[in-house]
Chain A
Amino acid sequence: DGGITQSPKYLFRKEGQNVTLSCEQNLNHDAMYWYRQDPGQGLRLIYYSQIVNDFQKGDIAEGYSVSREKKESFPLTVTSAQKNPTAFYLCASSIYLGPASGANVLTFGAGSRLTVL
């Protein structure tokens, strides 16, 4: 079955440690995204990538880093510089056909819940 796999589902870390969240997709989608969700809130965009070896900051990129070395993979690192990293992290992907192409339907993974102790 095609889809997006995020791992781990739950992660506990001590304050000051970097952590990396995995996101893999087998949908052959060009674009991938990372969102953060805090309790009772909507989703906020952290980073996105429309093509391999290229990515852009979203609304809340400070304290996070990403890489896009392969089309299928878009890992997110939560660094020690992120002041409040405890949150639910969601990865998504979509077919990106360019800014004038019209609709952009996202497919989401199941999420990774990070708790910093």
Chain B
Amino acid sequence: DAKTTQPPSMDCAEGRAANLPCNHSTISGNEYVYWYRQIHSQGPQYIIHGLKNNETNEMASLIITEDRKSSTLILPHATLRDTAVYYCIVGNAGNMLTFGGGTRLMVKP
């Protein structure tokens, strides 16, 4: 059963912010939200994760709603190299992470 819902595809102009949404309405209190991305024919790459608070690192920002039922991954200045499939996953150390279909982000010049 899918634990997250993401749009299948999105476009973004190069240099603009890419905002990728994710719904996880059945998330449990101890489950984290993780984001990974996969460039074609490579292994997924970890981006960021969070529990309740918003998080930021050198790659992206993660905004989690107060009720934790949805989140948004923000790539502040998208480049062509950010074109990839982005996976939003929920889980904790006690359950194995399940990867759904993700969002295919196309960054255009």
Which residues of chain A have a CB within 8 Å of any CB of chain B?
A: 4, 33, 35, 41-45, 48, 58-59, 88, 90, 92, 96-111, 113
Kindly state the separation between the CA atoms of A59 and B46 in the bound complex, as whole angstroms: 22
Within 8 Å CB of A43, what residues of B?
44, 87, 98-99
Given A102-B93, A103-B92, CB of A111 within 8 Å of CB of B34: no
Residue of chain A at shortest CB distance from B85: A42
Q: Which of the residues B41, B46, B51, B102 comes within 8 Å of A106, measured between beta carbons?
A: B46
Query: Is B49 in contact with A103, judged by CB distance below 8 angstroms?
Result: yes
Q: Compute the total of residue contacts between A and B using a CB distance below 8 Å.
A: 71
In the complex, 17 of the A-B residue pairs with CB atoms within 8 angstroms, ordered by the A residue number, are A35-B99, A42-B98, A42-B99, A43-B44, A44-B99, A45-B96, A99-B92, A99-B94, A100-B93, A102-B51, A103-B32, A104-B32, A104-B97, A105-B46, A110-B42, A110-B43, A113-B41
Residues of B within 8 A of A (CB): 30, 32, 34, 36, 41-46, 49, 51, 87, 91-94, 96-102
The dominant DSSP class at the B interface is loop
B93 contact from A35, A88, A103, Cβ within 8 A: A103
B95 to chain A, nearest CB (A): 8
Residues in A with CB closer than 8 Å to B98 are 42-43, 45, 59
In angstroms, how far is the closest chain B Cβ from the Cβ of A66?
14
Q: If the complex has contacts A88-B41, A104-B92, A109-B43, are A42 and B87 also in contact, measured as CB distance less than 8 A?
A: yes
The answer on a CB contact under 8 Å between A48 and B96 is: yes
A105 closest partner in B (C-beta): B46
What's the Cα separation between A42 and B101 when bound, in Å?
A: 4
| B contact residues around A4 at 8 Å (CB) | 43
Chain A, residue nearest B48 (CB)? A105
With a CB–CB cut-off of 8 A, which chain B residues contact A108?
43-45
Say how far A38's CB is from chain B's closest CB, in angstroms: 11
Is the beta-carbon distance between A111 and B43 smaller than 8 angstroms? yes
The CA-CA distance from A107 to B42 in the complex, in Å, is 12
Complexed CA–CA distance, A109 and B46 (Å): 12
B46 and A100 contact, CB distance less than 8 A: no
